[in-house]
Structure 1
């Protein structure tokens, strides 16, 4: 049995290793199809929804990152869903939205939200009203993640209909939360803008958005898995294939149900379901060169999984004095070609403030967080793990 080290708030994690986040309190039970959202202003991660053989969940969980403690908050029946999208907007950083997903009896296309108060406690979940203008996407699942939101806009591409079938929709939909309006971004039809055909309808794909483009990676439809990375130019409204997946050296294999986040102009992809079963590999794609690199994990890897909750989050670490004295006095930010901390060089960034004599220094650790999911052997997980991506010194004792 593989054993990953436990993340401690008084011990600086090592680069390139997965850590178990063993929090106290009422943590989420085993589930799939749920979401994780980092609410920076509250220092919390919200786990919303999900399902297991016992049914669909309508509660959410709060993980306080300063104490690594969990608590459960029951929600209304309308919150009960899985394989939905959860996201935040730039203008409402304390508000967490959930869109679409599968309910107990059918797929959904509604938008609900909850506000996290200044003391960290959540308000009540509400339906977004008044009614949204424009034509919303049809009900669907497995269509997007938090990385599909940019500014005040959520982008939706394709998704699941039922079973292994995708919705017959290859259009890009955009929800403007400021205007409460849906719109469809049609592919340009002009001599000056030559576009490839949109990617075929799919589900379980990854969607990520930058200021200029929407990216779609992987996914599946009726047993066929996809590996390419597609780019939709948001200004010119044209599609292009920027990475052919399996045929591109260093690229991840075809997969669906994987996790994807945007970090420092890179798309990070973890796990999912491939042709040979569940996966536990981690890849980075530079979104300027479209070069993929596999990130080599030190120590034990995670159990292969798909359909898990994931997000980026920041955790403050204050090493014990005896441990901190063993840390280098001067560190430079160094990354490997994959965009992750180098095992040979320090990754703690500078810019620290002086903590004064007798105070412990404080480090901010940016992590990829994973919760739950399942494998192809019938196992459903309830664990939470983090992979440190960068470490920044906030307060120094020098």
Structure 2
């Protein structure tokens, strides 16, 4: 069992829609250097930063757009530095996608991979486009794909295994499905994977999916009026092309997680971490992990500072879970809060680095990074700045 070494904490500046006048935003009041509360975005992390792509906020629905904006969607890519706890709006090169609500995104090396999503009104301008953005050069590339390209949709799930990206489920805005497509990211060729089993999971959207390299595990999700349970996990075996229901084991004290959709699910080592979400009535603040070897659920003894759904989350290579944004109240209150928790014991070096960052003037040290090297700080920490 992984060690939980600290409770959930919020880092960086925090704003919620309820903290300001919850009315339509006036164009003259928009600050392009400010990260506004949002939902339906996607976030990925590396060992130094979190990158947030897109999102939605209805308070911007009456803003007249320029060639660079797409309100009430955020045609934006932001970076949150873990060391300085500062946000930076990234100026990218090339054509950024515009269907930036309930799209799918993941990190592959130094590239951000994007597929699908919807513009507004939801479902009337959906996408089946595939883009990449290099996180070093910040250059977008539209990939003209071939083969059995998935239909235009949003609310789907995406996972990567080696050179392949798998996309599962989603909705056109009117019809839900559980189709599985595989994309070879080197050739740009899509394949619609067959199903050789009588069982097929119920169609859904806003589920999440992880892979152990042999199987695809689908967690929760639902429709506009339903949410699916987590006691049995729909599992697709790639080699045989068969679906099955994986019966999981309950937490010995807390039983099974509640049904949910619009949650997050991230893989760390052999465990999938499910956090937050909506069961149709209540927004959840819990976090659970499912061991993909024993299939046993464990409820972590901590909770979010803010319950959220339509948020996004990812886990650093060292095991720190970062959660960003989402809807915090049923009456459509959104946040730009960053919440985090270590899922395993950080190294002593990591703890020392965090303690040093909390006590020193990082703005000054950013400008004089040589000072850090001179006092013996390892270069891989300095590079995080």
1:183 aligns with 2:163: no
Give the paired residue count. 311
Tell me whether 1:113 sits opposite 2:120 in the alignment.
no
Equivalences for 1:1-398 in 2 at 5 Å? 15-22=5-12, 26=33, 28-40=35-47, 43-53=48-58, 54=60, 55-74=72-91, 76=95, 78-89=97-108, 93-104=109-120, 106-117=125-136, 122-128=137-143, 131-145=144-158, 148-162=159-173, 165-167=174-176, 169-188=177-196, 195-227=197-229, 228-243=232-247, 250-297=255-302, 301-313=304-316, 366-374=319-327, 375-393=329-347, 395=349
1:290/1:179 CA distance change after superposition, 3 Å: same
2: CA distance between counterparts of 1:245 and 1:271? 20
**3-state SS of 1:47 partner:** strand
Report the TM-score when normalising by structure 2: 0.74
State the partner residue of 1:332. Answer: none
Q: SS where residue 382 of structure 1 aligns?
A: strand
- Contact 2:4 2:345 survives alignment (8 Å): no
Question: How far apart, in 1, do the equivalents of 2:247 and 2:151 lie?
Answer: 29
Q: Distance in 2 between matches of 1:97 and 1:270?
A: 23
Q: Distance in 2 between matches of 1:179 and 1:132?
A: 8
Deviant stretches of 4+, over 4 Å: 23-27, 74-77, 244-249, 394-397
* Residue equivalent to 2:64: none
Residue ranges of structure 2 left out of the alignment (5+ in a row)? 15-31, 61-71, 353-385
Residue 151 of structure 1 and its aligned partner are, at CA, apart by 1.6
Q: Against the structure 1 CA distance between its residues 235 and 293, is the aligned structure 2 distance closer, same or farther, given a 3 Å change threshold?
A: same
Mapped partners of 1:184, 1:26: distance in 2:
41
Label 1:293 to 1:14 Cα distance change in 2 as closer, same or farther (>3 A).
Answer: closer
Q: Deviations over 1:249-292 (max 9, x none)?
A: 72211110000001121111001110332111111111112111
Q: Displacement, 1:21?
A: 1.2
Question: 1: CA distance between counterparts of 2:336 and 2:126?
Answer: 24
Q: Which has the higher helix share?
A: 2
Q: Could you tell me how far 1:301 is from its partner in structure 2? A: 3.4
> Does the residue aligned with 2:203 lie in a helix, a strand or coil?
coil
TM-score (norm 1): 0.72
Contact kept? 2:250, 2:296, Cα under 8 Å: no
Q: Partners in 2 of 1:254 and 1:231 — Cα distance?
A: 17
Partner SS for 1:260? strand
